[in-house]
Chain A
Amino acid sequence: MAERREDEEIACREFVEVITDYLEGALSDGEARALEEHLQTCPGCETYLAQMRETIARMGSLPREELSDATRGVLRDAFRSWSSRRE
């Protein structure tokens, strides 16, 4: 977006490509302002932003794995021998 004039209007097609820079706080103040002004007048892009936020939130709820008891046992033993060697 570097070549953009600050008063120039943003197109939706461009919005969907800079949305991550916006969410990451990587846009300049002027660029972020242009994007926010666009959002106020564009329901399509507002919806797109909400969908990106929902996507990020759903990623955070994917299931998590655990270590097997065997591996935890090996590591506990390793810690015991490590700590006894230091004494």
Chain B
Amino acid sequence: MNVAAHDSDTELLRRLRAGEEHAFVTLVDRYAASMLRIARMYVPSHAVAEEVVQETWLGVLRGIDGFEERSSLRTWVFRILVNRARTRGERERRTVPFATLAQDELDAPFTAVDADRFLPADHDRWPGHWALPPERWDDSPVRHLDVMHLRTRLADAVAALPETQRLVVTMRDLEGFDAAETAAALGLSEGNQRVLLHRARSRLRKELEEVRHG
């Protein structure tokens, strides 16, 4: 996230507090896609996600006079969103707390690339080096018609990720949050945020590799 976006959120916050409706609507629209996407990860339908976004903004209006700007407006709004979405999701869908899900994913064994693509550790010349190195993707350029297919497969692969990995990679690589904001909004340490990001990105790369090279 860049400095200009921060500044402009600050300016909009000032105007919102002064009662300017246009500033409020601009913020609502600016955050809409991210908020819906993140809310949708906790709740079972798009309709409920819209309700969570709506409740979040009502909560923002109620709390805005007490907001002391120790974090950015965006971080504050998304923390409210995640809390509400989580509460709503636990009520409607499941009882497993987010921290438990995250810990289960962190504890699961993981390799970014299948072990059989590397030479064995006791190889006399090249232990642990590529046996089957990845092929360059730019040698097989994506045709225009294939772009939509690639996008669909990627979206499906994101949807199939374990829950906390999906949240982290979506916030980071789709919505453009930085590491600290993502960790804060989800209540993760920055180290665990990075492990989950790594697992998610590695799986998505693998998926794109399969699409490109069948």
Q: Which secondary structure characterizes the binding site on chain B?
A: helix
* Chain B residue contacts of A83, Cβ below 8 A: 19, 21
B61 CB, nearest partner CB in chain A, Å: 5
B194 touches A21 (CB 8 A): yes
Contact flags (1/0) for A48-60 with B, using CB distance below 8 Å? Answer: 1011101110111
Pick out which of these stretches binds chain A: B1-9, B71-79, B84-92, B200-208.
B200-208
Bound: A75/B202 CA distance, A: 39
- CB-based contact A17/B19 at 8 Å: no
Q: Is A76 an interface residue (CB 8 A)?
A: yes
Chain A 15-40, CB-CB to B under 8 Å as 1, else 0, gives: 01101110010100000000000000
Instruction: Kindly list chain A residues whose C-beta atoms are within 8 Å of the C-beta of B33.
Output: 64-66
Interface secondary structure of A, over-half rule = helix
Q: How far is the CB of B186 from chain A (nearest CB, A)?
A: 16
Q: Are A82 and B28 in contact (CB under 8 A)?
A: no
B111 touching A17, Cβ below 8 Å: yes
Number of B residues with CB within 8 Å of any CB on chain A? 51
B134 touches A58 (CB 8 A): no
Contact yes or no, A79 B198, CB < 8 A: no
B205 x A51 contact (CB < 8 A): yes
- Separation in Å of the B17 CB from the closest CB of chain A? 9
Which residue of B24, B137, B174, B194 is within 8 Å of A20 (Cβ)?
A: B194
Check A14/B128 contact, CB under 8 A, given A54-B137, A66-B32, A71-B53: yes
Asked whether any CB of chain A lies closer than 8 Å to the CB of B169, the reply is yes
In this assembly, does B154 line the interface, its C-beta being within 8 Å of a C-beta of chain A? yes
Q: Which residues of B contact A47 (CB under 8 A)?
A: 133-137
Q: Are B205 and A67 in contact (CB under 8 A)?
A: no
- What separation, in Å, do the CA atoms of A24 and B134 have in the docked complex? 22
A59 and B204 contact, CB distance less than 8 A: yes
Q: Which residues of B contact A (CB under 8 A)?
A: 19, 21, 24-25, 28-29, 32-33, 36-37, 46, 50, 53-54, 57-58, 61, 111-113, 115, 118, 127-130, 133-138, 150-151, 154-155, 158, 169, 173-174, 176, 179, 194, 197-198, 201-202, 204-205, 208-209
* Chain A residues within CB distance 8 Å of chain B: 11-14, 16-17, 19-21, 24, 26, 42-45, 47-48, 50-52, 54-56, 58-68, 71-72, 74-76, 78-80, 82-83, 86-87
With A20-B201, A64-B33, A67-B29 known, 4 other A-B pairs at CB within 8 A are A14-B128, A52-B205, A71-B53, A71-B54
